[in-house]
Structure 1
Amino acid sequence: MKKIALFGGSFDPVHTDHLNIIKSCREFLKFDEVWLIPTYLNPFKFLSTSSACQRLEMLKIATKSLNYVKIKKYEISKTVKSYTYDTVCYYKNKYRNFSFSFIMGSDQLDDFEKWDHFDDLIKTIDFKVYKRSENYNKIILDKYNIELFEFDNNYLSSTNIRNVEKLELQIKEVNDYVNNNLMYLYERLETKMTHERYIHSLNVGQFSLELAKLNNYDLNKAFIAGTLHDIAKEWDYEAMEEYIIKYGSSLISEPKKVWHSYVGAFHLKYDWLFDDEEIINAVFNHTVGSKEMSVLDMIVFCADKVSHERDYVNVEKYRTIVKNDLKLGFKELLTRQYEFAVLKNGKNGIGEKLKESYEYWIGKKIDE
């Protein structure tokens, strides 16, 4: 009789510990197959932060080399809250010649007796529990005589991943998918900045997309870089200083007002684990530019200065120039940036990066 492990959960996102549990089911518990059953909506959660299609795609990416894993859409296709009892009954009735067990993490034990139709469920299927942490409900295990198993545990959670924690332990291909689809923006951006800054970031992403279309550039890269350009804008200077000292100490002499550009790039590279240097550079250069400005660098630089919520004098003129001629628009906006900085801080207070950009692109030597 074929032995099947039913492994349900939100998988929002799927991560390394999910994968290690799957492998343990096969290698140590000797299940013939592991059926992953992503929920449409966990009964104990009010919303999912990613779409059903995205979670299915991440599961496919994570398990592509495991031919004993099947991804089942019974719950996720129902578009309503999912209950384990209904799922178990469905599969047991449909595959009467199979032997089923249900896989769960020890972190679910506290609410276990609250599961729908629990009294019937506990009699219907055998449960295998994997120890997720040292603190777990031993009383429930003993009460229902449930087995507890160890696995190669990184003590990782989907909440960690959504909040950009422990990403070095995450499945790289899944992390790349999350980054390239700008998933979990609420947890990663809006809870870390003011609502006004969040809206600005979304607007810059949208305007970067418009400029990418006009300049035959990669739309997704432009949208990502534009949306994330101000990711460190509202960090406190002490936190920014730590990043600059660690990753780019020569930048410490630049004005604090532009630190966020460099820190944002470092944050994406070393915390989010972005490996797309074009996106990282565009964030790095979005405030004062550099001598080497790529098309993407110019797109994000300009989109930041003329995004849709901006309403300063002549902004419409600059938007028109940028849309008609990206390079010309960049030079016009760089000149405006330079003149504004000089007016506010004096020529000696604008930083070497802005001076270098201005002299290179505008062709005017700055007199000290």
Structure 2
Amino acid sequence: MRNVALFGGSFDPIHTDHINIIKACYEKLGFDEVWVIPAYVNPFKNLSASSVSQRIEMIEMAIADLDYVKLKTYEVRKQTRSYTYDTVEHYQKNYPDLKFAFIMGSDQLDSFEKWDKFDKLIAAIEFKVFLRSDRFNEKIVEKYNLETFEFENNYLSSTKIRNLEDVHLQIKTVNNYINNNLMYIYERLESKMGQERFYHSLNVGQTALNLARLNNFDLNRAMVAGTLHDIAKNWPKEKMQAIIAKYDSNLLTEPEPTWHSFAGAFHLQQDWVFEDEEVITAIYKHTVAAKEMSILDMIVFCADKISVERDYPGVEKYRSITYADLKTGFKTLLKQQYQVAVKKHGNDKIGKQLIAAYKFWIEEDN
């Protein structure tokens, strides 16, 4: 009789420790297969932060090289809250020739006795408990004579990943998928930048997408770069100063209002483990531009200044120009920004980067 481990959970997102538990089931516990069963909605949680299709896609990426792992969609197909007993009953009834055990993390032990139809469940199937942390509910383990196992533990959790903790330990393909699809954006941005800045960022993302459509550029990458452009805008001065000093201290000579663009680029690169260099560069350049400006650089620079909520004098004219011709719009907005900066701060305090961009695109290009 083949032994199958049932591994259920929200997987929002699936991460490295989930995979390490799966590998331990196969390599150390001797299971022939591991069936990964994403929940539609975990009964102990609110609605998932990502869609069912997104979670399934991430799981498929994570298990792509593990031929003994199968993705089972029984719970998500039901489109109701998921209860372990119903799932176990379903698989035992439909696969009587297989012997099942259920995999759980030690973090679930505290609520274990609250699981639906618990008395029937504990009698119906064996449980294998993987120790997710050094502290766990030993009373429950002893009471039900549960087996516990260690595994290659990075002490990750889906909550940590959603909140940008230990992202460097995450599965690379899954992390790229999360970044490139702006997943968990509310947790990662709104709570840190405030509602007004968050909505500005969403507006810039949409404007960047519109400009990308007009200029035959990748719509998704433009939206991602536009949405993330102000990621560090509301950081304290000291936090921006620290990350800039760590990766390029020369930038601290630039005016403080431009620091967030550099800090944001470094933050994405280091803390999000963001791998799209063109997106990072566009965010780096979005305040004062540069001599070299790609299509995406121009899109984000312009989108930031003409997004739908902007209402400064002349903005409708700038929108019309930019939507008609991106390069002309970019140069017009750069010239306007330079003139405003000089009027407000004087020639000596507008920064070398803005001066260099202005000379190249406005003075030398004439």
Alignment TM-score > 0.5, same fold: yes
Q: Distance in 2 between matches of 1:84 and 1:241?
A: 49
- Other structure's SS at 1:70 match: strand
Secondary structure of 2:199's match?
Answer: helix
> What amino acid is aligned across from residue 298 of structure 1 in structure 2?
M
For 2:96, what is the secondary structure of its paired residue? coil
* Bigger mean CA deviation after superposition, 76-85 or 24-33: 76-85
Q: Which whole-Å CA distance do the structure 2 matches of 1:46 and 1:180 have between them? A: 25
Residue 32 of structure 1: aligned partner? 32
How much does 1:277 deviate? Answer: 1.1
* Secondary structure, aligned partner of 1:222: helix
Shift of 1:59: 0.4
Aligned positions, number: 365
Identical-residue share of aligned pairs (%): 62
- Residue 187 of structure 2 is aligned to residue 190 of structure 1: no
How far apart are residue 349 of structure 1 and its match? 1.1
State the one-letter code of the partner of 1:240: M
1:278 corresponding residue in structure 2:
278
* 2:60 aligned partner: 60
Q: How is 1:121-270 mapped onto 2 (pairs within 5 angstroms)?
A: 121-270=121-270
Q: Which amino acid aligns with 1:351?
A: G
SS of aligned partner of 1:128: strand
**2:297 aligned partner, one-letter code:** D
One-letter amino acid of the counterpart of residue 4, structure 2 = I
1:358 aligns with 2:358: yes
Q: Does 1:71 align with 2:90?
A: no
Secondary structure in structure 2 of the residue aligned to 1:189: helix
Shift of 1:72: 0.4
CA deviation map 1:295-316 (0-9, x unaligned): 0000000000000011111111
Matched, 1:15 2:12: no
Q: In the TM superposition, what whole-angstrom CA distance separates every residue of 1:180-202 from its partner, at most 9, and x where no partner exists?
A: 11100011111111101000000
More deviation, 74-83/96-105: 74-83
Unaligned runs of 5+ in 1: none
- What is the DSSP-based 3-state SS (H/G/I as helix, E as strand, rest coil) of the residue aligned with 2:77? coil
1:310-329 equivalence runs, <5 A: 310-329=310-329
Residues 206-230 of structure 1, C-alpha deviation per residue, up to 9 Å, x if partnerless? 0000000100111111011000000
Code of the residue aligned with 1:136 in structure 2: it is F
SS at match of 1:331: helix
Matched residue type, 2:255: P
Q: How many angstroms apart in 2 are the aligned matches of 1:284 and 1:39?
A: 39
1:285-336 deviation digits (Å, cap 9, x = unpaired): 0011011111000000000000001111111110010011101100110011
- Measure how far apart 1:29 and its partner are: 0.6
Partner of 1:335: 335
Instruction: State how far apart, in whole Å, the 2-side matches of 1:273 and 1:91 are.
Output: 39
Deviation at 1:344, TM superposition (A): 1.3
* Regions of 4+ moved over 3 Å: none
Residue 345 of structure 1 deviates from its aligned partner by 1.0
2:43 paired with 1:43 = yes
Counterpart Cα distance in 2 of 1:253 and 1:101: 61
3-state SS in 1 of match to 2:7: strand
In 1, distance between residues paired with 2:217 and 2:37?
39
Larger deviation, residues 118-127 vs 355-364: 355-364
- SS state at 2:102 partner: strand
- What secondary structure sits across from 1:3 in the alignment? strand
Could you tell me which amino acid in structure 1 is paired with residue 87 of structure 2? T
Q: Which whole-Å CA distance do the structure 2 matches of 1:182 and 1:77 have between them?
A: 25
Aligned residue type for 2:3: K
Write the distance in 2 (CA, Å) between the matches of 1:323 and 1:48.
37
SS of 1:37 mapped into structure 2 = strand
1:168 deviates by 1.0
Q: Tell me which moved more, 6-15 or 341-350.
A: 341-350
Alignment partners' CA distance in 1, 2:56 and 2:63: 11
Show the counterpart of 1:89: 89
Q: What code does the residue aligned with 2:240 have?
A: M
> What do you get for the CA RMSD once the two structures are aligned?
0.9
1:196 and 1:252 map into 2 onto residues whose CA distance is 27
Letter in 1 for 2:187: E
Counterpart of 1:348? Answer: 348
Quote how far apart the aligned CAs of 1:364 are.
Answer: 6.5
